[in-house]
Amino acid sequence: MAELEKIIWISIILLIIISVKDRIKPALPIVLVSSGLVLSLTGIIPPIDMSPEIIFYAVLPPILFDAAWNTSIPDFKKELPVISVLAIGLVFLTTTIVAVIVHFIIPGFTWPLSFVLGAIISPPDAVAATGITKNFSLPQRLTTILEGESLLNDASALIAYKCAVIAIVSGMFSFWDAGVQFIGISLGGILIGVGMGAVFLKIHRYFNGHSNAETFAVILLPFAAYSLAEHLGCSGVLTVVVLGMLLSWNSFTLFSAGSRIQMSHFWEVIIFILNGLIFLILGMQLPTVISKIPYRELPVLILHGFFLFAVLVVIRFAVLALFPVFSHYTLKKKNTTVRPSKKDFIILSWSGMRGVVSLAAALALPVTDASGAAIGQRNTILFLSFVVIIFTLVIQGLTLPKLISRIKPVPSDKKEARELDILLLQKSIFFLKKDQYAHIMTENATKTMIEKLTREEMQLLNTVEENPDSQQTEWKKKYFDLELQLVEYQRKELMRSYHKGEFSLETVRKKEWELDFWTATVCHEMDSLQEQIR
């Protein structure tokens, strides 16, 4: 069966799994991995050859770009001390401790091989964590830390991985050279990201606001950026992250409204597909990996994998517990409280699931060294990496939702959205009252608009936040329901008229788009109202 045909059938199975997901309790990543394992064991779909290049060059760039695009840069800068410790300090500390343990407890593991395994399993996976926690209302600060850590830890781990692989292939390793290489690869990735972002900002004006051209350019950018950086020997991860943040920061004035809406829908679908496929295929890889290990070694290696999983958990708990101690003097000057609350600390400590990057790094390990000799323990490294990934997804992934439900973290303040609405209304009223804009619109139109905005402002100011089940809230619910019923009625009349041939398809499609936009607007308002009630 051709690989493309397998992907098509796997995608169909993915849709079936997602359609019944609401009836299953475990989080989606766990369900997908388990389903992939079942598919592989039953032979319904033959094993798929998951090339590491596919993950690195086709899967990772859009996932990183989307995460960077949706990262709040002010919040990211505010939490940078915590993020840096988790994404850089914790990754290198984990890599080193795991390397030392593996070197002494598993026979045949040289120092370079031990560091490779440590680098592979050191970075937590953002996709797994957000896939499990997305249905919970978490504090904004906790979400920022988790997402920020995931943006940078992949770069740290992959750079450490590259250094260890070079040591394996060449047979030489130097901590000094590795440190210099890390700095060079990191700075190079950042500079390439800034450079590509600056070039795009310059040439963007030639798109003339063409939504399709803008969307296609933004789709292409993360792939091109990652590929260029890797070919130049720099960090493709950091390049894509910096590029995504730079474009996101300028997106408010850079792109047209139509382009932003189009990009938003496109990325939502693409990330949804990639995340689903990668976990499903991850489960399908396990039987192939197991087949390369002698059966008599499996029990011992599974125990080793569980022990390494426990080590990862302990290291993360310890670093988060000790972080305020060694960051005290730096942060005292900024008068910043860095230590998360006890509830946030527990959730953050237990959100260490491994996934996509660890899988790709394990699969990308070379088969032979520079002399052409087979690299020893490659299959063992691959198997241990998969065991650790599965343990984190099953043990932490299954228990994290229950943990969040039990400890009930304090969600972010829901008043923020209301305060922003009030601010924008006040600024709009101020804009309309300015004399220099009087010539733009008639006096009556200006007066009518000011009265309308003032009424909306008073309604927001008079909203009783402490009583979300007030009559006003119930009235809004009924009003939105009535709007949706009206849209549905118009849609049926539109369809009836088209089927009778009374109007052309072009006219009908335009009106359909207007109704769809109306529906989306009402649904968005209903979601916002629901957020206030929670």
| Distance between CA atoms of residues 98 and 429, nearest Å | 60
Nearest to 297 by CA among 521, 107, 512: 107
Amino acid 332: pLDDT:
47
Average pLDDT over residues 334-361: 74
**What confidence tier does 226 reach under pLDDT thresholds 50, 70, 90?**
very high
Amino acid 232: pLDDT:
93
pLDDT at 530 over 80: no
Query: Between 230 and 360, whose confidence is greater?
Result: 230
Nearest to 235 by CA among 313, 156, 297, 176: 156
Amino acid 337: pLDDT:
44
Amino acid 331: pLDDT:
44
Query: What CATH number does domain 1-331+341-409 carry, 1.20.1440.60, 1.10.357.20, 1.10.10.10, 1.20.1530.20?
Result: 1.20.1530.20
pLDDT at 137 over 90: no
Average pLDDT over residues 182-202: 92
**What confidence tier does 377 reach under pLDDT thresholds 50, 70, 90?**
confident
Greatest mean pLDDT among 16-30, 87-101, 421-435 lies in 87-101
Average pLDDT over residues 177-206: 88
Query: Between 14 and 307, whose confidence is greater?
Result: 307
Query: Between 337 and 145, whose confidence is greater?
Result: 145
Over pLDDT 70: what percentage of the chain? Answer: 82
Extents of the domains making up the chain = 1-331+341-409, 415-533
Find the range with the poorest average confidence among 13-27, 201-215, 386-400. Answer: 13-27
Q: What is the pLDDT of residues 256-278, one digit of tens each?
A: 777 888 888 888 888 888 878 88
Q: If you average pLDDT over every residue of the chain, what do you get?
A: 80
Nearest to 114 by CA among 129, 97, 131: 97
Longest Cα separation, the chain: 87
**What confidence tier does 499 reach under pLDDT thresholds 50, 70, 90?**
confident
The answer for residues whose C-beta is within 8 angstroms of residue 80's C-beta and 6 or more apart is: 148
DSSP track, 460-495? HHT--TT-TTSHHHHHHHHHHHHHHHHHHHHHHHHH
**What confidence tier does 133 reach under pLDDT thresholds 50, 70, 90?**
low
- In angstroms, the first-to-last Cα distance of the chain is 49
Over pLDDT 90: what percentage of the chain? Answer: 18
Amino acid 327: pLDDT:
44
**What confidence tier does 534 reach under pLDDT thresholds 50, 70, 90?**
low
Q: What is the pLDDT of residues 318-346, one digit of tens each?
A: 988 886 544 443 444 444 444 556 777 88
Find the range with the poorest average confidence among 120-134, 293-307, 402-416, 459-473. Answer: 459-473
Amino acid 23: pLDDT:
64
Q: Give the CA count within 13 Å in the CB-facing half-sphere of 60.
A: 33
Tokens of 318: 């310890």
Average pLDDT over residues 345-365: 84
Average pLDDT over residues 270-291: 82
pLDDT at 471 over 50: yes
> Contact 248/71 with Cβ under 8 angstroms?
yes
Tokens of 129: 């964590």
Nearest to 533 by CA among 434, 424, 411: 411
Amino acid 334: pLDDT:
47
**What confidence tier does 194 reach under pLDDT thresholds 50, 70, 90?**
very high
Find the range with the poorest average confidence among 324-338, 384-398, 412-426. Answer: 324-338
| Distance between CA atoms of residues 384 and 301, nearest Å | 7
Amino acid 19: pLDDT:
77
Amino acid 463: pLDDT:
59
Amino acid 129: pLDDT:
66
Amino acid 335: pLDDT:
46
